[in-house]
Amino acid sequence: MPATLRFWFEFASPYSWLAAMRIEAEAARRGVTLAWQPFLLGPIFADRDWSTSPFVLYPDKGRYMWRDVERQAAKYGLTLRRPDRTPGGIFPQNGLLAARLCLVGLDEGWGEGFARAAFAAAFSEGHDISRQDVLAPLVAAQGAEPEAALTAATASATKARLRAAVEEARRLHIFGAPSFTVGSELFWGNDRLEDALDYAATT
């Protein structure tokens, strides 16, 4: 029986977006079960004394990343709208509320659909996903009740779960997103999605 693959993603991460939009089809093709796992890169980057994304700290790397993501997105049939080129937009966006809502949604069966909708809002539609009024309609579109979800998302138990996810990421030596884990075997980056699923399928 194939192993479960854990999909670690951060809502501010462009390569997490690319992986989120194609992982279900690739997993289904191999009969691999997925466990979607939102987490935050900010605390992981802070461990390295990075105040923000390396794509901001190192301009050549950032310049390249956007060109690369644009090329990869085109290959997958996705449209990129750079969040830092929308009116008032920034990169990286603050994915905290989206991550907490996603945890609530995963318990209730709408987390994966919400995650894809939030990624599309952030990277294709030019929306600010730190805003409640942007995220609430995405919750509603999954058939859930936005007000209850927002209350649950900001409850201390949910906050603690997200902090625990970051702790677990550290223990697994995760340093970027997306990451994929099968037990302690780690794969990093959208480019390793197929390898990670193949590994899970044969483990």
Site residues, a copy of itself (CB under 8 A)? 48, 58, 60-61, 63-64, 67-68, 71, 173-175, 186-189, 191-192, 195
C-beta closer to a copy of itself: residue 9 or 187: 187
Distance CA 37, CA 96 (A): 13
Q: Are 178 and 190 a contacting pair, CB within 8 Å?
A: yes
Residue 117 CB, nearest distance to a copy of itself (Å)? 28
Residue 137 CB, nearest distance to a copy of itself (Å)? 36
Residue 100 CB, nearest distance to a copy of itself (Å)? 25
Residue 93 CB, nearest distance to a copy of itself (Å)? 24
C-beta closer to a copy of itself: residue 80 or 98: 80
C-beta closer to a copy of itself: residue 84 or 147: 84
| Side-chain-side CA neighbours of residue 19 (13 Å) | 30
Distance CA 10, CA 98 (A): 9
CB-CB neighbours of 67 under 10 Å:
10
3-class DSSP assignment, residue 4? coil
